[in-house]
Amino acid sequence: MSSSVLTGIGCYSPKTARDRGMWQRLKEFCAGEPQAFGRNPETGHVTGSAFVLSPDMQCVLLTHHKKLNRWFQLGGHCDGIADVPFVALKEAYEESGLQRISPLSAQVFDVDIHEIPANTRDCAHLHYDVRYLFQAEAGEIAPSDESHALAWVPLTQLEEVTDSPGVLVLRDKLEPFLQCHC
């Protein structure tokens, strides 16, 4: 498969029909929505996520999200910043308490478009979530105000913590990605 570049997001090499479909939808959204990196629930928006691996690469850091009451990777809204790799790294620092986190690749790891349910503040809307791969290098984890807890979850035990396809994709894509891009 060939790689494709999207301004503010980076380079992605989709491998499967799912990946190609998500990437195409993301490209169309960014081309057609002037506020793609904003936070308008009426249109949906791009978000940046970080799969932060442990120093030994055997675990991923997950957060138990307060609003959604489920375990997810770290990440958040771009809030007008059209530099999604930066947003993903910033959110990883803010949500983890770690002191040093390094990108494992400049390449996009995954794209996942999913609906966020309506709440008291916003209508239901789509997150065009772009995910990047990082490795923790220093510091102790400490949950932010947005989280009930943080946990280093062994990659072999992800299904024991979450049934979210958007998180489980890490297990399926990690080894091939590391072989090609790291």
Task: Tokens for 152, please give them.
Answer: 């280093």
Give the pLDDT confidence score for residue 2 in this predicted structure. Answer: 58
Question: Model pTM?
Answer: 0.94
Going residue by residue through the chain, which has 182 residues, state the pLDDT in tens, using 9 for 90 and above.
456 889 999 999 999 999 999 999 999 999 999 999 999 888 999 999 999 999 999 999 999 988 778 899 999 999 999 999 999 999 999 999 999 999 999 999 999 999 888 888 889 899 999 999 999 999 899 888 888 899 999 999 999 999 999 999 999 999 999 998 76
Contact 114, 166 (CB under 8 A): yes
pLDDT the model gives residue 182: 60
What is the token pair recorded at 70? 């489920």
